[in-house]
Structure 1
Amino acid sequence: MIEKVASGAIRVPLFSRPFVWRPRQMTALFESIEDGYPIGSLVLWEPADEVESMNEIGGIPIPPPPPGLPICYVLDGHQRLATLFGCLRAPASAQASADAWMWRIYRVLGLRLSRESRYRHSGPVEAPPHWLPLRSVLRTKDFLSYQRVLTGIARGEELEELLHEAYDVSHRIKDYRIPVVRVIGGSPSQATTVFSRLNSAGLSLTVDEQATAHEYTDGSESAQDSG
């Protein structure tokens, strides 16, 4: 799923709401994934024709749609997908930008039975060395680099425990599977109806967000009628 987003094959339509999740919602998503809890399915729309879409997901620019290949548009799951993509694929060079802190989530190692949250944002300060950066989970080179960080702060049994915990977290995230519901075909009007109904149970769409979806639909249908 992450690779398809990176290639531009999975996109977010312009009529979707922007990213609105708060930091605690982002960290809670990873806590659920590590615990093996369901996080809901993604609803992907596969229309016959290409539609306008956002040029970035999770703060990361994505390339144009790959020519000749099917393109899927996210009707439900933008907040979850953006959180996963933005945090797991965030490049190290992007961490200096003003809003990059949002995508810097870490898994705190060594908490054992503590009731403290396992996943945290670092904020403007540098994260402690026992905080596993999620951007290193999918990259073997970065994960090995983090292992070297751990060897600089721990020895013996403590080091083994931290390494084992980091490996376990990495595998739980990489092996997690998200159910996908595919909507094949249909018009932009039907797609925006599906989007509006799916999102009515969560954070309510604002008047502006609903207007954006309807304006997009009206514009698309007018263009099709005039053609």
Structure 2
Amino acid sequence: MISAPQPFVVHLFTIFRQIAAGELRIPAFQRDFIWRERQVIELLASVREHYPVGSILLWHVEQKMLEIASSQVSAFPLVTESYPTSYILDGMQRLSTLYGTFHFKLGDDEVFNVLYDLRRQNFYHAADLTPQQAEAAIPLAALISPRRMLEHQARLAELPDGDKLLEELLATQGAFQDYMIPVVRIAGHDIDRIVGIFERINSTGTRLDTVDFMRAITWNQAFDLNRALDTAQEALGEDGLEVSDETIIKCVGLMLGVQPSREELLTLRARTPGELSQAFAQFPQRLEEVAAFLRERLRIESSAYVPYEGQLLVLFKAVGMAEASGPELDLLERWFWAAGFNESLRGKPDHYVVRAVEGWRALIAGQIRGLEPRLRLSVADFFERRLIKGKALSGAFGAMFAVREGRSLLTGEVVPASLYMSVADLDSFQTIFSAEALRASGIDLGPSSRIFPNIILTNVLEREVPGPSDWQEHILRLAQAGKGEVLASQLIDDLAVAHLRAGEVQAFLRRRAELMREQALALVGS
């Protein structure tokens, strides 16, 4: 059970005392303090001016529920662990900033070495202060030390404008002493509910996902999830697939028979360190099987061409875990093409993906509605849609040229797929007609000319090779020279050439759109 949220306000300096006493703790999922100098200064200025800086979300527990983060994560002191205590779920960056600047000492992170210029009434990092500014500046740490306050008061009193500076000093100290921070506290032992509450209340804009909580839940001396994830990432090597920590966790969960949902993944905390360690050790080789499938069958060498996590998880379950047989591999390939061309996983909820992964055999057999392996794009879709980086359809479009072994219109040689299927950009794909030329022919699809039938594959390494810059004229020259196989590799046939020769731009592009759909249909299957 989880108690109803309890809102209240606490003086800033009271929060400092609670941190020093270990009553407020940073859980292990909070990995790093990431704020930069500007953010530190802006927060301090807001407090000085009595502006609100947002609430703090705490999870109060009577016994250990999460592992505590290393003291290197923030400016919080190393205090012997004891209970009851409260975990900081939201507000770690703000509290670290405030505690760190008011407790800065030699050897601490210099981002917390902040002084207040009483004369200019601004905050500065020590490295940014001029000697003249330093004369009227006071370290924030002095504001909570009576002895240091007296020392600075005596120094400031000797200055010509000492009375004014002392007045500003006391006003600044009072502003921080009187500042109240809103706190929302929840209590209970239901981890699943805590995850859900955080995802809804988190005010930082940074989503704390299931894996972040699992870092705290599973992080102990026998098994450190952070270290396991880092090791797994390093072991991925050169397979071209860059996967997130969350995806790694989901793959490991699949290896341990756990569905890739938030609720199910949290059950991994009950697994033994040995089980988890073994699964993590096997993960890189299993993912390499997926990478090999993508390279050999679809010429994909980069995760940029695998836009949906669901695609990767399905392949990991079926291919990486060696569940699929020979004919099933062919069906998986056709489903992958369909998912890309149709963008069928866009916006699908988590439970949809879980169903697809767990029932991948039903998936490739067309038994999961909305994810059937058949082409839904029309010729008009190919005619109107654009090549856009990161989009599933564009990724399938690029892979289509790779499996066709598209040839350079300059040399006639096959453009190596590694040049454009192992990078995230789409620089190898260039346009035949400019946007102005398209509009002049009656095609007005917006400012971009990168509609699919207006795209050809080029070899970026040949850009300096002497050759015509007018691709339209060069297509006609290749046709005149009988290089139909080169043009065919770029989805240009005799009919398209005839339209181009006659100056029929729309007809030329429409024919290419028809050829593109035919090629996509062949890849997906009827």
TM-score (norm 1): 0.79
Q: Is the 8 A contact 2:103 2:141 kept in 1?
A: yes
Counterpart of 1:131 in structure 2 is 137
1 CA distance for matches of 2:180 and 2:79?
A: 24
Q: Quick check: which one's strand share is greater? A: 1
2 CA distance for matches of 1:33 and 1:130?
A: 20
Are positions 1:185 and 2:184 aligned together?
A: no
The verdict on how the C-alpha distance between 1:79 and 1:215 changes in structure 2, with shifts beyond 3 A counting, is: closer
Counterpart of 1:151 in structure 2 is 157
Amino acid in structure 2 at the alignment position of 1:81: L
Q: What are the Cα deviations for residues 91-121 of structure 1, in whole angstroms up to 9, with x where unaligned? A: 3xxx2x3x63111111111126xxxxx1111
Are positions 1:43 and 2:49 aligned together?
A: no
Counterpart of 1:176 in structure 2 is 179
Amino acid in structure 2 at the alignment position of 1:163: L
Q: What are the Cα deviations for residues 31-61 of structure 1, in whole angstroms up to 9, with x where unaligned? A: 1111111111111101242121124264343
Are positions 1:64 and 2:80 aligned together?
A: yes
Give the number of the structure whose alpha-carbon radius of gyration is greater.
2
Counterpart of 2:125 in structure 1 is 121
Structure 1 residue 28: Cα displacement: 0.8
Match of 2:69 among 46, 54, 60: 54
Q: Is the 8 A contact 1:7 1:65 kept in 2?
A: no
Structure 1 residue 150: Cα displacement: 1.5
Amino acid in structure 2 at the alignment position of 1:146: H
2 CA distance for matches of 1:215 and 1:35?
A: 37
The verdict on how the C-alpha distance between 1:188 and 1:210 changes in structure 2, with shifts beyond 3 A counting, is: closer
Q: What are the Cα deviations for residues 2-26 of structure 1, in whole angstroms up to 9, with x where unaligned? A: 0010111100111124211111111
1 CA distance for matches of 2:193 and 2:31?
A: 17
Counterpart of 2:100 in structure 1 is 86
Counterpart of 1:141 in structure 2 is 147
1 CA distance for matches of 2:156 and 2:112?
A: 22
The verdict on how the C-alpha distance between 1:196 and 1:53 changes in structure 2, with shifts beyond 3 A counting, is: farther
Counterpart of 2:118 in structure 1 is 109
Are positions 1:11 and 2:25 aligned together?
A: yes
Amino acid in structure 2 at the alignment position of 1:121: H
Task: Tell me which moved more, 14-23 or 29-38.
Answer: 14-23
Q: Is the 8 A contact 1:101 1:124 kept in 2?
A: no
The verdict on how the C-alpha distance between 1:188 and 1:149 changes in structure 2, with shifts beyond 3 A counting, is: farther
2 CA distance for matches of 1:197 and 1:20?
A: 22
Is the partner of 2:211 in helix, strand or coil?
A: helix
2 CA distance for matches of 1:176 and 1:218?
A: 37
Is the partner of 1:120 in helix, strand or coil?
A: strand
Q: Is the 8 A contact 1:109 1:132 kept in 2?
A: yes
Q: Quick check: which one's helix share is greater? A: 2
2 CA distance for matches of 1:38 and 1:150?
A: 30
Query: RCO greater where, 1 or 2, for CA within 8 Å and sep 6 or more?
Result: 1
2 CA distance for matches of 1:186 and 1:129?
A: 53
2 CA distance for matches of 1:89 and 1:215?
A: 28
Structure 1 residue 213: Cα displacement: 2.9
Counterpart of 1:115 in structure 2 is none
The verdict on how the C-alpha distance between 1:215 and 1:189 changes in structure 2, with shifts beyond 3 A counting, is: farther
2 CA distance for matches of 1:78 and 1:109?
A: 28
The verdict on how the C-alpha distance between 1:215 and 1:58 changes in structure 2, with shifts beyond 3 A counting, is: closer
1 CA distance for matches of 2:78 and 2:204?
A: 27
1 CA distance for matches of 2:17 and 2:63?
A: 22
Mapping of 1:202-221 within 5 angstroms? 202-205=204-207, 211-217=211-217, 221=267
- Specify every segment of 5 or more residues in structure 1 that has no aligned partner in the other structure, as ranges: 113-117
Q: Is the 8 A contact 2:101 2:141 kept in 1?
A: yes
Amino acid in structure 2 at the alignment position of 1:194: I
Amino acid in structure 1 at the alignment position of 2:187: I
Structure 1 residue 221: Cα displacement: 4.5
Q: What are the Cα deviations for residues 111-164 of structure 1, in whole angstroms up to 9, with x where unaligned? A: 26xxxxx11111287871211110111111111121123234x03xx1100001
The verdict on how the C-alpha distance between 1:125 and 1:37 changes in structure 2, with shifts beyond 3 A counting, is: closer
Q: Is the 8 A contact 1:136 1:142 kept in 2?
A: yes
2 CA distance for matches of 1:88 and 1:129?
A: 20
Is the partner of 2:180 in helix, strand or coil?
A: coil
Q: Is the 8 A contact 1:23 1:102 kept in 2?
A: yes
Amino acid in structure 2 at the alignment position of 1:138: I
Task: Tell me which moved more, 217-226 or 171-180.
Answer: 217-226
Amino acid in structure 2 at the alignment position of 1:100: D
Q: Is the 8 A contact 1:196 1:210 kept in 2?
A: no
The verdict on how the C-alpha distance between 1:159 and 1:135 changes in structure 2, with shifts beyond 3 A counting, is: same
Structure 1 residue 198: Cα displacement: 4.0
